[in-house]
Amino acid sequence: MKSTGVVRKIDELGRIVLPSELRRVFGIREGDELEISVNGEQVILQKRQDVCVFDSAENPAYEFKGRRVCERCAAELSELSTVEVRLPDDTTVAR
């Protein structure tokens, strides 16, 4: 991860200001949603994309555990719940 050298203080409400140059470079405008995730001790901000998490289809119809999913992928996922799975010891489990 590349450091920008920019340091910002968190205000009393827990807010920070993203520098205008970073907002311009990443196309972040007022009202855009940012997704906040954690990787170890890093806090990661990403511009929220309105695409399916699996195939990047636009305008996904569903949200599952904070992730957007299109109708086609949701249908495929629902099929997985009725699939029989063979385990390494040859046991078959219906899911």
Q: Which tens digits make up the pLDDT trace of 31-56? A: 888 989 899 999 999 887 788 989 98
Residue 71 has pLDDT above 70, yes or no: yes
Residue 58: per-residue pLDDT: 87
Residue 83: per-residue pLDDT: 64
Q: Is 74 exposed, middle or buried (0-12, 13-18, 19+ CB in 10 A)?
A: middle
Domain ranges of the chain: 1-48, 49-95
pTM for this model (two decimals)? 0.52
Decide which of 3.20.20.140, 3.40.50.300, 3.40.190.10, 2.10.260.10 is the CATH code for 1-48.
2.10.260.10
Give the confidence band of 21 by pLDDT, cuts at 50, 70, 90.
very high
Three-class SS of the chain: CCCCCCCCCCCCCCCCCCCHHHHHHCCCCCCCCEEEEEECCEEEEEECCCECCCCCCECCCEEECCEEECHHHHHHHHHHCCCEEECCCCCEEEC
